[in-house]
Structure 1
Amino acid sequence: MTRLHRRTLLLAAGLTAATPASARRREEDWQLWPGGAPGRESVSLSPEVVERSVDPAYRDRIAVQTLDPLLTVVRPARPNGASLLLIPGGGYRWAVVDKEGMDCAHVLAAAGVTCFVLRYRLPGEGWPAGPAVALQDAQRAMRLIRARAGALGLDPARVAVLGASAGGHLAGCLTAMPPPAYAPVDAADEGPWRPDLAILLYPVATMRDPFVHAGSRGRLLGAAPTRDQIDQWSLEALDWSGGPPTFLLHALDDGPVPVDNSLMLLGALRTAGVPVEAHLFQEGGHGFGVRLIAGRPAQVWPELVLAFGRRHGWVP
């Protein structure tokens, strides 16, 4: 626990932005879809990864117009058998790579968790699947992790998901929505797509006014969604019966995504009888990941997640 805490502080201070060579050697990319993503022939995009950081001490990349979704695997020096699919945010406008992806993966890999950071397609970029396009990628990612778990020495029954902001919405959809959003493409798709534990950081939960993050809803459902569409994609309106243990984290001063998103989802989870734990912090704002909360109470969230996971059998 002490080792994790020190690692968290280092990342939060921006001192480890240049990934150590030893960590780089344990990273690799997996293509998500053999032969291309569903509907690829129907879109014309120019994939781009943009570096937003002007500070050489850390990276802050975003991915847009992704054609070929991928998983970046971050393997720990001493794996404990647990896996984690990380789904960063970006308001469905882009997919964050580092802040809620690689940065968090390095912290949790230091605790023995094998991490898989998802770079997913975006619903506003003309894909035939519309709002379900990112969900296709998330479901495929979970199935691929389980299909390859044995070869990596991992337990296919201990695969969690961590989603942040709009990635938290996508992780919630992955956890609670019914049947798969795509036709099977290979043997990996014979496996389950739902996670064994869910971790939602300041999630975009509701698509309903007045607490909706309007940008996420607009890019997911368009400018004038119907009431049925709004209800279909609101996490608090989904059927969570039989759902896995779920961890919620939010800052009370979150402006873009009000804390009411987590509070409404907390109520739905309790009603459904889902084992749930929620942590609300006085300050932290939105989109803090691990680096932007150095010195603030919320910086302990990775330790809280691991403690929750330990109680529910995800990590030893």
Structure 2
Amino acid sequence: MSLFYSTTYGQELIELWDEKDIPNYKSTAEREDIAKRDITFISKVQKPTLEIFLPSERNANGKAILILPGGGYGGVAYDWEGTDYAKWLNAQGIAAFVLKYRSPQAASVIESYKAPIQDAQRAIRWIKRNAQKLHIKKELVGVMGSSAGGHLASTLATHSTSYYEATDEIDKESFQVSFMMLIYPVVSMKKGITHMGSRNNLLGKEPTKQLIEQFSNEEQVTEKTPKAFIVHSADDGAVPVQNSLVLYDALLKNNISTDMHLYPKGGHGYGFGKSNADAPDWTAVAEGWLNSW
């Protein structure tokens, strides 16, 4: 059973599993670390949590988004690409959920590449299990991810296999999402396209060809992949714009509705872009897309 406790940042915070039920987990003495920076960056994440942000009932439109912050799979930029997004989504009438997912290289993780997607699948199932009381429509649950969080979001949206064994009623729910929003995302694990830091953290420094293919999400797109909204900048020096281009090509070939916005400038990791004069004003077009269906 998931545990509930209060938080000063959101409306409610839950642990996705009791400690004894966390898949792919072993207890260690390692502890999470919150860096002293101008953003809240949490590394060595041990136990996944889901922070809930709800709009007023009158404003709610039934849509819900699981937010997956970036951080190169070395941690999560929790407010910068997480809780700040949640507050913006609430203003659009959308329920938002920020996932603090496990770091693949945390000492408590047994198999690195499984931990983040296990947490994301569980989070979607939890949202759907609680949809009625949260005034959410199950068919309107999507995912949003930035940078490495974009890789995790596209993994969730394109992989059809559950990465852990069912343990309770929550796991009877589907983890499939109805749409994805990817902000300067890592998509591929192939050299020359990927962000090597994210790849090394997720798959290790010498991954098999099978793992590289499995987590190159442009290769996992099918006619069942959900519709997509994608933002990227051509001058992104960390995550090449080719990540979004190869995904767009795969989506196009499978006739998946995709709204992609490529900008000449902006670099990488700009979040909302309020502190970067060159960053695109992507939230304006995102709001139009979210309100178009």
**Same fold (TM > 0.5):** yes
Structure holding more helix per residue: 1
Q: CA deviation at 1:292?
A: 4.1
Deviation at 1:165, TM superposition (A): 0.3
Taking structure 1 as the reference length, the TM-score comes to 0.85
Q: Which residue of 2 aligns with 1:31?
A: 15
**2:60 aligned residue (79, 87, 109):** 79
* Worse-superposed segment, 43-52 or 124-133: 43-52
1:35 Cα offset (Å): 3.9
* Cα distance in 1, alignment partners of residues 142 and 283 from structure 2: 14
CA distance in 2, matches of 1:197, 1:115: 14
8 Å CA contact 1:99–1:291 kept in 2: the answer is no
Matched, 1:40 2:25: yes
2:285 is aligned with 1:304: yes
Structure-2 change in CA distance of 1:158 and 1:231 (3 Å): same
Bigger shift: 288-297 or 179-188?
288-297
Alignment partner of 2:42: what SS? Answer: strand
Q: How many residue pairs align between the two structures?
A: 283
**Residues 122-159 of structure 1: per-residue CA shift (max 9 Å, x gap):** 11124123201100000000000111110112112111
TM-score under structure 2 normalisation? Answer: 0.91
Name the CA distance, whole Å, in 2 between partners of 1:288 and 1:254.
10
Choose the corresponding residue for 1:192, options 141, 155, 174. Answer: 174
Q: Aligned letter for 1:108? A: L
> Residue type of the partner of 2:203?
L
1:100 paired residue among 68, 75, 81: 81
Match status 1:121 vs 2:102? yes
- Residues 262, 185 of structure 1: CA spacing in aligned structure 2 closer, same or farther, 3 A cutoff? same
Residue by residue over 1:55-107, the C-alpha shift from the partner in whole angstroms, topping out at 9 and shown as x without a partner, is xxxxx111122222111111223322211100000001111101110111111
The structure with higher relative contact order (CA 8 Å, sep 6+) is 1
Q: State yes or no: 1:168 paired with 2:150.
A: yes
Structure 1 segment 104-253 matched on structure 2, within 5 A: 104-126=85-107, 127-253=109-235
Other structure's SS at 1:203 match? coil
Whole-angstrom distance in 2 between the partners of 1:133 and 1:241: 27
Match of 1:20 in 2: none
The alignment yields a C-alpha RMSD, in angstroms, of: 1.8
Letter of the 1:119 partner, please give it.
K
Q: 2:37 aligns with which of 36, 52, 61?
A: 52
1:289 partner SS? coil
- How far the C-alpha of 1:240 sits from its partner, in A, is 2.6
Shift of 1:51: 3.3
List gaps (5 residues or longer) in structure 1. 1-22, 54-59
- Residues in 1 aligned to 2:229 and 2:291: alpha-carbon distance in whole angstroms: 12
Query: For the residues of structure 2 that align with 1:230 and 1:41, how far apart are their CA atoms?
Result: 25
Identity of aligned residues (%): 34
| 2: CA distance, partners of 1:239 / 1:100 | 25
What are the ranges of 5 or more consecutive residues in structure 2 without an aligned counterpart?
A: 1-6
Provide, for residues 8-58 of structure 1, a one-character-per-residue CA deviation record: whole Å limited to 9, x for no partner.
xxxxxxxxxxxxxxx9686211111134522333544212222311xxxxx
Moved over 6 A (4+): none
CA distance in 2, matches of 1:173, 1:26: 26
